[in-house]
Chain A
Amino acid sequence: MPEKTVQQPLMRDELLPPSRARRRHLISIADLGRPDIERLLGLARTFATSLDRDVKKLPTLRGRTVVSMFYEPSTRTSTSFELAAKRLSADVMSIRASGSSADKGESLKDTALTLGAYDPDIVVIRHTSIGAPDVVARHVDAHVVNAGDGKRQHPTQALLDLFTIDEEFGGVDGIHVAIVGDVLHSRVARSNIQALVLMGAHVTLVGPPTLIPRGIEALGCEVSHDINAIRDADVVYVLRMQRERMEAGANFVPSLREYTARWGVSAERLTKGQRVMHPGPMNRGVEITPDVADAAESLIQRQVRSGLVVRMAVLYDLVTGGPVSAVAPATIREVA
């Protein structure tokens, strides 16, 4: 009779996810329904009016702790989250680090466990790795907000873009948005396509074939490789073209010059009344000409302002378990 086991077997508790009270997170637009987005935008509108007051601080999250972990360089997203939390009177702790969890001495799991010891109410995380917010959500008993994970998602960017379009056009339904540039490497594009389609917008992706991922049409958008396809759009949404994608040998596009000449957004390629958006930071003279960036039709500065109120809405909504809206709050993603 052979031994039944050759070594001590792992216990079930170590293998199965721990059972814990479920927390609401904002990790992907794919986890939201239209009522969730409407609720968050409505809340953001309420906070927008508070920005016009002399004293801009609200006591709503007093005594709450927001930890913000940025593993990637960021100016607008990190400051926007930090200010949003402070406007709501939360205590904010910011951690900046570089590099992926794999090449660091400490794993993301261990960092998360360390932070968890401070009992944060909310963890805001930006990370180079897809799924990093999910890892944190598994190990920390806090609401997790994804501030950008690799090429996957940047849900608060999509929400602030919806807020901006809604404010400008009085609604998102039926608006035609052309998203131009490097969709393949863009978490902004992925989140925005999902959010815009969910809210009834018509989305066309425009860019070189090498930078439009195969199969992306399944999200309900159209694809064109001709820059003239932007002419029918109400909004031309320009993506940041990362210079490293255009280095010799990467072969996504033959050269910067070739890209700008074929897909750069310039005044001549726009039609009257079109609005231009960009998630920043811009490469002026590459994906967008400086005159377009600074023109009156540009909503780019408005996007930054929207970011603040939308992030206030997200933080508030997560902590309070849903506002006065009748919509069940549980539909924001739950991770056990």
Chain B
Amino acid sequence: MALATGSAGLWCKPTEAVDIVVAGARVVDPLEGLDEVLDVTVEGGVITSLEQARAPRPRLLVTPGFVDPHVHLRAPGREDEEDLASGTAAAAAGGYCAILAMPNTDPVVDSAAVLGALIDDAKTNAQIPVGFFASITRDLAGEELSDMVELAECGAVGFTDDGRPVRSAGLMRRALQYSGAAGRSLSLHEEEPTLASGGHMHEGAVSAELGIGGWPSIAESVMVERDVALAQYESRPLHFMHLSAQESVDALRRARELGVEASGEVSPHHLCLTDEAVRSLDTNLKMNPPLGAEADRQALLEGVRDGTIEAIATDHAPHALHEKELPFEEAPFGVTGLETAFSVLYSRLVMTGALGLGVLIERMTSGPARIFGLAPPRIAVGQPANLTLIDVERQWVVGEDGFRSRSANSWLIGEELTGCIVMTIADGRLAYAA
């Protein structure tokens, strides 16, 4: 697979390579320093020419295909909520050319057998290339390390206990050390369990008013601080997933200034929403980590702008309708996001001037690819075609035409967004066309 490096792989069902000419589009690839109106020719799945456009089409934007390093595909175990076919179809519809799936499935991806079965599934059913994380600890129990070297050899892209923190500092240290032998880094879900206990939303004025159990932002940041210290001591890289708190962004920035090889990601919902939204008690606004205060949102945005946060990741977390249709405190955490990520960030952040288009594209393409050692999608002659085509003026209502995801727990249902993915070419194959 074109995006793969080393033995970390991405897998996809084989389809025919595409031949296409995308004429007159504004082509933006921050990695190539490209922002021009061009005709892009793809032959046999490879970009064969980039030429000055003869007839500009001002609504059409072409970017490198998006890379999402944080997706829950729910397979194996909860195929009623999502599976590889539906999840990768949703990703393709959102403009993604590669996604990485979390291992908190049932059974957990903690053995070569489970990982191997997923890879076989992907070779038959994945609409776009997909890679798989394996768990740091067996059964996510936080007690014993999983067989990291074997899992890496089998193709795991990295290790994470996403959904749960690695509670024990001692075990975390061993995981940092041993993951070096596997040649993969750790991705961490940071949540100090005794501080987050009983929390269902950010602790602050809104939780005080609503009476919903508060989850203090320091529940995340004290773990970020702990693991930065461990990573520095062990000279090992670390990735912090779905950051939500100002204190965590500050800690990550300090860590990088100290030379710690630490990276971070943030979700579209944490960039667009605050805990004020929870007043509606809509369970599609319940996520882990919870939506923070406006100061947290601003800190996350600044982190994205200054490069402290290198990746935007959806944390796409499908849930069955009947499980979300419960009172707020009883509903599970998590929202879908693959099909709306670019459009909502474009509508709410780029169009308002909060974020530059180039920065957004970088954080959705080469930023995440770099963290996980994947070859970044590039718009250059000779490169495999990983392209996302966007109609930047088209307005659409989320949910109006249903979702390609098997679940509908989007926080944007009924919202009108500007900017619509019209085509996705992933690894030289046509993955989606509106």
Contact = CB atoms under 8 A, between A and B. Distances in A.
Interface of A: 1-7, 9-12, 14-17, 30, 100-102, 107-109, 127, 129-132, 134-135, 149-153, 185-187, 190, 194, 213-219
Nearest to B88: A6
Interface in B393-410: 399-404, 406, 408
Given A2-B431, A2-B432, A5-B89, A102 B330 contact: yes
A6 B211 contact: no
A152 B330 CA distance: 14
B211 A2 contact: no
A126 B309 CA distance: 45
Given A2-B15, A150-B211, A129 B330 contact: yes
A15 B281 contact: no
Give the top 4 A-B pairs by smallest Cβ distance, nearest first: A9-B402, A151-B211, A129-B327, A218-B205
Contact of A214 (B214, B330, B399, B432): B214
A1 B209 contact: no
Given A2-B432, A6-B85, A150-B329, A218 B406 contact: no
B403 A216 contact: no
- Which has the most chain B C-beta neighbours within 10 Å: A15, A101, A214? A15
A190 B212 contact: no
Contacts of A30: 209
Given A2-B92, A127-B327, A135-B327, A218 B413 contact: no
A152 B278 CA distance: 13
Interface residues of B, number: 40
From DSSP, what is the main secondary structure of chain A's interface residues?
A: loop
A101 B327 contact: yes
A134 B281 contact: yes
28 contacts: A2-B92, A2-B431, A5-B404, A6-B86, A10-B403, A11-B402, A12-B400, A15-B414, A16-B414, A101-B326, A101-B327, A107-B322, A108-B327, A127-B327, A130-B212, A130-B329, A131-B327, A135-B325, A135-B326, A152-B211, A213-B203, A213-B208, A214-B208, A215-B203, A216-B208, A218-B205, A219-B205, A219-B208
A12 B214 CA distance: 34
B268 to A, nearest CB: 19
B284 to A, nearest CB: 10
Given A15-B413, A213-B207, A215-B208, A2 B330 contact: no
Contacts of A7: 86, 406
B204 A215 contact: yes
A194 B127 CA distance: 53
A129 B404 contact: no
B207 A12 contact: no
Contacts of A129: 326-330
B337 to A, nearest CB: 16
Contacts of A3: 89
B326 A12 contact: no
A149 B330 CA distance: 13
Contacts of A109: 325
Nearest to B424: A2
A130 B208 contact: no
B42 to A, nearest CB: 15
A9 B404 contact: yes
A24 B329 CA distance: 25
Interface in B327-370: 327-330
Contact of A130 (B127, B327, B433): B327
B33 to A, nearest CB: 32
Given A152-B211, A190-B209, A215-B208, A16 B399 contact: yes
Given A16-B399, A107-B322, A150-B327, 14 more contacts: A1-B433, A4-B433, A10-B399, A10-B402, A10-B403, A101-B326, A131-B281, A131-B327, A151-B212, A186-B211, A190-B209, A213-B203, A215-B206, A218-B208
B10 interface: no
B389 interface: no
A3 B89 CA distance: 9
A91 to B, nearest CB: 28
A130 B214 CA distance: 13
B379 interface: no
Nearest to A17: B414
Contacts of A219: 205, 208-209
A283 B157 CA distance: 58
B38 interface: no
B328 A131 contact: yes
Nearest to B200: A130
A135 B206 CA distance: 20
